[in-house]
Chains A and B, each alone.
Chain A
Amino acid sequence: MSNSSRTRALIRALVTVGALLTAPLAQAQDFRGGGVITDFAGCEVQGFRGAEFVRARLRLGSPEGNPNTTLSLFFPDGAIDLTLPGEIARGTAWTRAWGTAIWFGPGNWDPRPRLRFRQVTPVGASTVAEATDLMLRLQVRGFNWLAGCNVSIAVALTRA
């Protein structure tokens, strides 16, 4: 084997090891759990009321990969995806997000919803990216295609 062949083989090995080392980290940015949608206001036409309990999944955005963060909420008879650009952080400003739902069929919310996180509590670490658990509260305006429908969501999640 020539020197250049050995160098190429070494580079391939390093790339493989690097990929193996970083793959679990990328995969570990998924969380699962559940929670509740509540404080329905202006949503009467769709029949939402009280406290709707949901199972939940969260995929964190990352600068290295997909920058978008997606929260999925699962009802017994439907599912909702809320996707927002960037990472999650507590704040007062509203962020334009994307909403997708599957009820009778799939569809993208139009108008797009806006949301803001009112509580972001990582457990087991000081940052969301390293947390074992997450407790999140967020508010959504324009829930499920309704421009005037506002809700609050609280979820408890653990790293998958």
Chain B
Amino acid sequence: MSQTRHLLSALALSLCATSPALAATEFRGGGFLTSFSGCGGWGSRESVLVRYQPAGAPENHATRSRVSMFHHSGAFNYSFDFAPGDYPELGEWFTVSTTKVFGSGYTIDGVSLRLLESSPIEAIAAGATAIFLAFEVSNFDGLTGCTARGRVALALD
């Protein structure tokens, strides 16, 4: 019996030690979304908090990047698959998988992003631990024709 308890304790410790949430390479920060156009009830600007797990970074997925954006009353998660070296050019639109949690959680189709001004991949590869990102989003919140732009400041957690 004692051996079983020790075994279970050891297993629990090993699970804690290998928790993906603890091991991921993650950038955290915040910024804003603004210039909403054709977006129904979305207003002039939104302050947001952001978590970003870039693909290919230590302990992260090899090709899938994840971005979570927390608004005051809900959140979006955007994810996209690109092998390192195969990322879209700056200004080039790319489709993202989107999940929304505002009261209830569900997926949204048709959302696209594009990065402007600078590439986080190049900055991170060069060793940057703090970065600024400028971006635009199309069909924001699944609203066809809705566009917005944003800017965030992030640092390695």
Which residues in A have some Cβ–Cβ distance to B below 8 Å?
A: 32-36, 38-39, 50-56, 123, 133, 135, 137, 152, 154-158, 160
Contacts and interface: CB of A to CB of B under 8 A. Distances in A.
A51 B47 contact: no
Contacts of B51: 53
A154 B155 contact: yes
A50 B32 contact: no
B153 interface: yes
A51 B132 contact: no
A154 B50 CA distance: 13
Given A36-B153, A133-B151, A154-B155, A51 B27 contact: yes
13 contacts: A34-B30, A34-B31, A34-B47, A36-B154, A38-B130, A38-B155, A38-B156, A50-B157, A51-B156, A54-B30, A135-B151, A155-B30, A158-B34
Given A51-B156, A158-B45, A33 B130 contact: no
Where chain B touches its partner, the secondary structure class is strand
Contact of B45 (A54, A135, A154, A160): A160
Interface of B: 27-32, 34, 45, 47-51, 129-130, 132, 151-157
Given A55-B49, A133-B151, A160-B45, A35 B157 contact: no
B32 A135 contact: no
A53 B45 contact: no
Contact of A36 (B34, B45, B130): B130
Given A52-B28, A154-B153, 8 more contacts: A33-B31, A33-B32, A36-B28, A39-B155, A53-B28, A53-B51, A155-B153, A156-B152
B49 A156 contact: no
Contacts of A52: 28
